[in-house]
Amino acid sequence: MPENLLEVRDLTITPAGADAPVLHDVSLSLAPGERVGLIGESGSGKSLTAQSVMGLLPEELHARGQVHLQGHSGNLLEANEKTLAGLRSDIVSMVFQEPMSALNPLMRIGDQIAEVLRLHGKAPRGQIPTRVLELLRDVHMPDPDSARFAYPHQLSGGQRQRVMLTIALANSPRLLICDEPTTALDVTVQKHMLDLIVERVSAVEAGLLFITHDLAVVAGVCDRVIVMYRGRIVESGSVDEIFTAPKHEYTRGLLASSDLEATDDRGRLFTLKTALAYSGPQIGEGEASVDVGEPGDLRDEPQISTRPDHTGMSVAGSTDEDSVRTTSAREGAGAASVRDDHRTPSVRESAPLIEVSDVTRIFRGRGLFGRRRSDVTALGGIDFSVAAGARLGIVGESGSGKSTLLNILSGLDRPTTGHVRVGDIRVEAASSQALRRLRENLQIVFQDPFASLDPRMRIADIVAEPLIAAGVDKDERAARVEEMIAAVDLDQDSLRRYPHQFSGGQRQRISIARALVTRPQILVADEPVSALDVSVRAQVLNLLTDLVDEYALTLLFVSHDLGVVKHLCSEVIVMRAGQIVESGATEDIYANPQDEYTRRLIAATPSLAEALAAG
Amino acid sequence: MNPTPTGAQSPSDHVDPVAHDATDTTASAKIRPGRSRRSGRRANASMIIGAGLVVLIVGLALISFVWTPYDPTTIDPAARLQSGSLTHPFGTDTFGRDTLTWVMVGARITLLVGVVAVGIALLIGTPIGIVSAFFAKQPWGMWLDAVIMRANDILLAFPALLLAIIFAAVYSPGTGPAMVAVGIAAIPGFARVARSGTLQVLGSEYVRAARASNRRIPAIAVVHVLPNIAGMVIVQASVAFAISVLAEAGLSFLGLGTQAPTPSWGRMLQESQQYLSTHPELALWPGVFIALAVLGFNLLGDGLRDRFDPKMEARGA
């Protein structure tokens, strides 16, 4: 076996003043030119491992063990800052997660790249500008000639990450460490970025240590995978081994919960608990057709029985009754829900619950002293309708206008032109009283579980807040809050605690409890799982599915993640730059996307099965 | 940065897949390293020193109600202008009154002025700031916010001393008008702090959530905004307290504040003026205590600021 490029032995990291280490005896090695993925959820210690290799550990952490790099004799953990500075960029360099904060906002990017070249003296001074241009061309920067003179804020997220990659690879290091390099990027951009990283790393024949929580990304990029859990390496092996025959329970659980195509016999996603029944990712096209058949039946939209305009319908009503028996019989144990009413095609044609027609929203640019700046069109003519009980997914990348649309639907913002009707309320012209009625019927679960709960309120008060506004008296409030907290699988002790005592997943449960405590008809979820770890994501999605069934909700689910939407929603609209580019039944859109952009979006979404099939 | 994983007690490599909630907890802790701050980090030095000085001044004032070395108003011509001794640790003044007694009783006025002035500024300034911020968030209320804040700026342009002189000219000079003048002059500071804090809170997602669940604006202001800006307002109060102590001393020194025979540090300074060359310690003691009080409240404010600083509460991964 040739000498390894990177050799980490018994690395143990202990925070100052703490007894228990956060990283336990981590040993790993990386052969020259090898691409290794380091997988784990937040807090698993994967970033700490990478930081020790770079010598970037925070002062208050004490590292023991050995880190050896080819081309440097001695333990890197004991090396002084000067030695480390020499090694960085020459032998090992790093791409960080957030490209905006990793670049100096006041320096032109050409200068930032030149700086790295100059500091390490690899290129003769006179040739630096040409070399910068060459490097920018290598990462396929559009118009590299003028890009050199751009400031970071003038570039998009993907372009900034290209610049980061350029800087990292400027001195042809032998090892490149990427710490979640694509997590902050949109899916289509992520795809390009991953391809680019693989391309550049092979071009300069460097080794790659790729840190991520996303299994599908690793499958496409790496040869070998190391799985970390709570500061330990639990398993390592080739991509095929790990993804098709995981040995460790945690790996299997992680794999199961990140596979949004696979569901257990109740139609729910696998979680760490139920992972034993998981049979591994399905490779090949056969699986897709199975999946298409199922959601149509299983997630047949429940009818909201409280809506007055349906109870009086004689013809549709009787059809409803019949269909209840047939569908329930057909479903059997499929979905253990309390729905008592099912929709038939004839009801689908009746007035939809939400109707949005030709809505535009233009933000007027306001300069100093009222001078007009250019207007920004966030929504440019949106049309769609949602039937009661439907589950609509709204998919789009950042800047597509989906958040603006949500704000308008929930009455937090008003459209510039166009009509929005929710139930019998015309949102664009609603009085404040009508808006209050609207909000009682429509509740939101927000994206960031850390920002959406008031840090200075107890959970009981947070969940009870919508009830106070609705004028529910104190005893009933307490009873309903307790009931709701139980419904989202939190224990009653939680009520007395503050938000900071909970994890992201638990906070999102609290958010859901708050949204549902008033029994709304419509639940709007704004990227509710994008800030969560995969295993937690599966739990929250299952909970959401259960509750949507149980409370017969109409669900509007906003996400950039096509996989999640495909699992959860029966219908989908795809948005881009304030326009709807495509809409229809989820299966149809996936199986047969009509629009070029939708096709690109689907192709760019990393999927385990595809990555394995390709590799 | 990375906290101890809560579930890491088991030494074996075996991972219990059911223990997902433990992973979950670790995860959140990593995302919010700032959380350990409130419970874990020790109070900073400036806060300890500041609090100590404030306790000293408040203690002196409280003790003076039950016990003073001498009666503050008794004149003893035999013991006039003495230097420090065992019987009179801080010496006596031109009427033979004990300086230590006067320093203790004078602390009362200092604190009274501080409490009343800060109270006025806090109770008027904070609501103004909060209301102004709510206006600023409404398309129809932006001009109202502008009007309020410009009026605030105009008030800010008047120094407390100038205001007090006007008050003393209109009403008679005394502790009351002085307190009100200092209080009014401190309003703009509270309004600004409250406004910026409120704007920040109003932009947060939990306020969006409250609006989405139909809470009315007054409820949002009381339930969400007040608790979350309380830290900033407390810091401002402690700094404003220091300024009021200084302003009161200055006004009394000029004869516009506390009137004879009520003991006040500012008046003691003024009365000591004519003996400055022969008995400098007469000016020393009130001067030292004014300085200690100002220093104490300022340090306390700095310390509290470090604790409450929103930047330190910001998330870092």
Of A54 and B288, the structure prediction assigns the larger pLDDT to B288
Above 60 in pLDDT, residue A288? no
Residue A453 distance to chain B (closest CA, Å): 5
For chain B, what is the mean pLDDT?
81
> Residues 6 or more apart from A139 whose CB is under 8 A from it?
A162, A163, A165, A166, A196, A200
Phi/psi of residue A296, nearest 5 degrees:
-60, -40
Q: Do B15 and A453 touch (CB under 8 A)?
A: no
pLDDT in tens, B149-165: 999 999 998 888 888 88
pLDDT, one tens digit per residue, over B68-106 is 888 888 777 787 777 777 788 888 887 888 888 989 999
Chain B residue nearest residue A22, CA to CA: B4
| DSSP state for residue A378 in the 8-state scheme | E
Instruction: Please give the pLDDT value at position A337.
Output: 37
Task: Kindly state whether residue A292 falls inside one of the protein's structural domains.
Answer: no
* Cα A359 from Cα A427, distance rounded (Å): 11
With vertex at residue A480, the alpha carbon angle to CA A490 and CA A504, rounded to the nearest 5 degrees, is 30
| pLDDT for B280 beyond 90 | no
DSSP tag of A2: P
User: pLDDT band at A308, cuts 50/70/90?
Assistant: very low
Cβ(A174)–Cβ(A207) below 8 Å: yes
Return the closest-CA partner of residue A435 out of A445, A444, A427, A443: A427
Chain A residues in contact with B227 (beta carbon < 8 A): 454, 456-457
Nearest neighbour of B227 by CB, restricted to A48, A443, A456: A456
Does ipTM exceed 0.85? no
pLDDT of B261: 81
CB contact under 8 A, A249 and B15: yes
Tell me whether residue A211 is in a domain. Answer: yes
CB contact under 8 A, B17 and A273: yes
Q: Do the Cβ atoms of B209 and A446 come closer than 8 Å?
A: yes
Q: Mutate which of B211, B214, B229, B233 to test chain A, going by most A C-beta atoms within 10 A?
A: B214
The answer, yes or no, to whether residue A332 has pLDDT greater than 50, is: no
Take residue A461 and report the two structure tokens written for it: 């008060």
Query: Is the pLDDT score of B110 beyond 60?
Result: yes
Please name each of the domains of chain B with its CATH number: 41-65+92-310 (1.10.3720.10)
Q: Taking residues A30-55, what's their average pLDDT?
A: 86
Vertex B124: Cα angle to B123 and B130 (nearest 5): 95
pLDDT surpasses 70 at A485: yes
Q: How many other C-beta atoms lie within 10 A of the C-beta of residue A504?
A: 24
What is the mean pLDDT of the segment spanning A386-400?
87
Half-sphere exposure of A42 (CA within 13 A, CB side): 24
Task: Kindly report the number of other CB atoms within 10 A of residue B65's CB atom.
Answer: 10
CA-nearest of B192, B190, B199 to B221 is: B199
A450: nearest CB among B13, B223, B315: B315
Candidate ranges A474-478, A611-615, B83-87; pick with highest mean pLDDT: A474-478
> Which chain A residues are closer than 8 Å to B10 by Cβ?
none
Banded model confidence at residue A181, pLDDT cuts 50, 70, 90: confident
Distance of alpha carbon A427 from alpha carbon A367, whole angstroms: 29
Whole-number pLDDT of residue A371 = 53
d(CA A6, CA B263): 77
Q: Domain range for residue A228?
A: 6-245
Q: What are the backbone dihedrals phi and psi of residue A229, each rounded to the nearest 5 degrees, phi first?
A: -145, 120
Q: What tokens appear for B219 in the block?
A: 């409820």
Residue A114: inside a domain:
yes
- The CATH number given to whatever domain includes residue A453 is 3.40.50.300
- The answer as to whether A319 is a domain residue is no
- Of A43-57, A295-309, A358-372, the one with minimum mean pLDDT is A295-309
In a domain, A107, yes or no: yes
Given this model, what pLDDT does residue A284 score? 45
Closest-CA residue in chain A for B227?
Answer: A456
- The residue ranking higher by pLDDT, A615 or A67, is A67
Give the mean model confidence (pLDDT) for residues A182-192.
Answer: 81
Q: What does the pLDDT read at residue A182?
A: 82
Average pLDDT, chain A: 80
At A615 the pLDDT is 54
Q: Which residue of A has its CA nearest to B202?
A: A454
Total residue length of chain B? 317
Average pLDDT of the segment spanning B37-49 = 65
**E strands, A230-373, in order:** 232-238, 354-363
Tell me how many domains chain A contains. Answer: 2
Q: What angle in degrees, to the nearest 10, is found between the helix axes of B160-170 and B226-253?
A: 60
Residue A328 lies in a domain: no
User: How many contiguous H segments (helices) and E segments (strands) does chain A have?
Assistant: 25, 19
CA distance A86 to A81: 9
- Global pTM reads 0.74
Domain boundary among A203, A230, A245: A245
Written in H, E and C, the secondary structure of A24-46 is EEEEEEECCCCEEEEECCCCCCH
C-alpha–C-alpha distance, residues A510 and A458, integer Å? 11
Sort out which chain A residues have CB atoms less than 8 A from B210's CB and list them.
Answer: 454, 465
A:526-585 residues touching chain B, CB 8 A cutoff: 533, 535-536, 539
Of residues B314 and A382, more confidently modeled: A382
Q: Tell me A389's DSSP state.
A: T
Tell whether A216 and A359 lie within a shared domain: no
Residue of B nearest to A412 (CA): B212
Does residue A230 sit in the same domain as residue A354? no
Q: How confident is the model at residue A298 (pLDDT cuts 50, 70, 90)?
A: very low
The pLDDT score that the predictor gives to residue A303 is: 38
Q: Which residue type is seen at A535?
A: S
Q: Same structural domain for residues A73 and A186? A: yes
Residues 6+ apart with CB under 8 A from A30: A4, A5, A6, A7, A36, A175, A207, A209
Residues on chain B touching A457 (C-beta within 8 angstroms): 223-224, 227
pLDDT at B285 over 60: yes
DSSP 3-state of A172: coil
Give me the helix-helix angle, B226-253 and B175-202, nearest 10°.
Answer: 150
* Residues A107-129 pLDDT 10s: 999 999 998 888 887 778 888 88
**pLDDT at position B281, please?**
83
Q: What is the DSSP string of chain B?
A: -PPPPTTTT--SS---TTTHHHHHHHHHHHH-GGGHHHHHSPPPHHHHHHHHHHHHHHHHHHHHHH--SS-TT---GGGTT--S-SSSTT-B-TT--BHHHHHHHHHHHHHHHHHHHHHHHHHHHHHHHHHHHHHHTSTTTHHHHHHHHHHHHHHHTS-HHHHHHHHHHHS-SSHHHHHHHHHHHHHHHHHHHHHHHHHHHHTSHHHHHHHHTT--HHHHIIIIIHHHHHHHHHHHHHHHHHHHHHHHHHHHHTTSSSPTTS--HHHHHHHHGGGTTT-THHHHHHHHHHHHHHHHHHHHHHHHHHHH-HHHHS---
Residue A322 phi/psi, 5-degree rounding, is -60, -45
What is the pLDDT averaged over residues A499-510? 88
pLDDT of res. B119: 96
Q: Are A36 and A210 in contact (CB under 8 A)?
A: yes
Structural domain includes residue A324 = no
State both tokens at A94: 């790093």
Q: What string of H, E and C letters represents the secondary structure of A220-235?
A: HHCCEEEEEECCEEEE
- Helix or strand or coil: residue A65? strand
Q: Which of A250, A439, A504 sits opposite B213 (nearest CB)?
A: A439
Give pLDDT, residue B154.
92
Confidence of residue A434 (pLDDT cuts 50, 70, 90): confident
Evaluate whether residue A262 is within a structural domain.
Answer: no
Long-range contacts (CB closer than 8 Å, 24 or more residues apart) made by A326-329 = A327/A297, A327/A300
Between A534-550 and A249-258, two packed helices, what is the crossing angle to 10 degrees?
Answer: 50
Q: Do A536 and B2 touch (CB under 8 A)?
A: no
Examine the fold and report which residue of A222, A245, A268 is the final residue of a domain before the chain moves on.
Answer: A245
DSSP label at residue A3: P
pLDDT at A326 (0 to 100): 39
pLDDT, position B31: 36
What's the pLDDT score for residue B302?
86
Percentage of chain A surpassing pLDDT 70?
85
Q: How confident is the model at residue A268 (pLDDT cuts 50, 70, 90)?
A: confident
Q: Over pLDDT 90: what percentage of chain A? A: 10
Residue A210 in tokens? 């790729």
Q: What is the pLDDT of residue B59?
A: 94
Last-in-domain residue among A245, A269, A294: A245
**Arithmetic mean of pLDDT, A411-421:** 86
Predicted confidence (pLDDT) at residue A312 exceeds the cutoff of 60 = no
CB contact under 8 A, A231 and B5: yes
CA A344 to chain centre: 34
Is A471 within 8 Å of chain B by CB?
A: no
Contact A351/A421 with Cβ under 8 angstroms? Answer: no
pLDDT bracket for residue B196 (50, 70, 90): very high
- Give the per-residue pLDDT at B28: 37
A498 touches B at CB < 8 Å: no
User: On the CB side of A322, how many CA atoms lie within 13 Å of its CA?
Assistant: 9
Q: Is the pLDDT of residue A539 over 70?
A: yes
**DSSP annotation of A469:** H
Residues 236-265 of A with CB under 8 A from B: 248-250, 252-253
- The DSSP code for A552 is T
Higher pLDDT, residue B190 or B90: B190
Q: Can you say how many angstroms the Cα of residue B310 is from the centroid of all Cα atoms in its chain?
A: 18
